[in-house]
Amino acid sequence: MASGFFALLDDIATLMDDVAAMSKITTKKTAGILGDDLAVNAEKASGFVSSRELPVLWAITKGSFLNKLIILPIAFLLSAFLPWAVTFILVLGGVYLAFEGAEKVYEFFVPHNEEAHILEVETPSKTDVLELEKKKIKSAIVTDFILSVEIVIIALGTVVGEPLLFQVLVVSVVAIIATIGVYGIVALIVRMDDFGLRLVQLGNGKGFLKFFGNLLVQALPKVIKLLSIIGTIALLLVAGGIFSHNLEFLHHVLESWPSLLREFIVGLIVGFVALLLFKLVKALIGKFKD
């Protein structure tokens, strides 16, 4: 009995060693999408009142964990019984990411009348602020869901053919690392100015602590702006990558071009087509209501 128990422990230890090794390999393969995830979510988690940044980020993080609890079992079932559905869902998610990226590009270059109207509004009420928070949190969780699908599918692809238990353990570990790692770094970014201010106070407004603290405070808006740009590019790159890798007729489009540039262009084109269709449908619905 004792020998059987220790043999079981040895099997478990061997399995966990294999899981740890494969998780490390899988995490490296998903590093690109994790970088995109970080850029996108750092941009979405910014722009709130300082005292609300961490509560909002925590709400998004909980949503991210819930996303993965939904995605993981569905991914394992689809991979086993309906592998074509995985590709279909990926492409649909890519269309949404491309749409969101194209919309940001459009809003940057095309002035819209809503800004002038917003400027006329005085200090927003607490209800308005909370409503805006809810909308941004919902948007961030939806985007996280699509990026999480991509992460899970890439991770799953590295352990295809392995026993189901091994697949579950490896992909689950990668999903947890992705959530904790990405949102942990995002939390550090959005609190960078408060940390800098604290350093200035500790240094009594002089010396190296003052210099470094001021540097962090002044750098935060630039970092957020840069992440906003990187996040938009990341959305289009991820979308373009999904289309290029999963739609056969796009495999040879711009084949001689660098892959990053090709994926960006494909994502941008699909995004603007989706944005145009969305605006047309919205206009038709508006006319129908009138």
Q: Kindly list the domain boundaries of the chain, sorted by start residue.
A: 2-289
CA distance 171 to 158: 9
On the CB side of 67, how many CA atoms lie within 13 Å of its CA?
Answer: 24
Range from 153-157, 183-187, 208-212, 248-252 carrying the lowest mean pLDDT: 153-157
Q: Judge contact between 240 and 56, C-beta under 8 A.
A: no
**Placement of tokens 């449908």 in the chain:** 281
Distance CA 46, CA 163 (A): 41
How would residue 286 be classed by pLDDT, with cut points 50, 70 and 90? Answer: confident
Q: How many residues make up the chain in this entry? A: 290
Question: Where residue 268 falls among pLDDT bands split at 50, 70, 90?
Answer: very high
Helix, strand, coil percentages for the chain (3-state, nearest 5): 85, 0, 15
Give phi and psi for 264, each to the nearest 5. -65, -45
- CA angle (94, 97, 98) in 5-degree steps: 85
Quick one: how far is CA 86 from the chain centroid?
19
The model's pLDDT over 170-229, given as tens digits with 9 standing for 90+, comes to 888 888 888 888 788 878 877 787 788 888 888 777 778 888 888 888 887 787 777 778
Is residue 273 pLDDT above 80, yes or no?
yes
The tens digit of pLDDT for each residue in 98-123 reads 898 898 889 888 866 544 444 444 56
The pLDDT tens digits for 47-75 are: 666 667 778 888 888 998 999 899 888 88
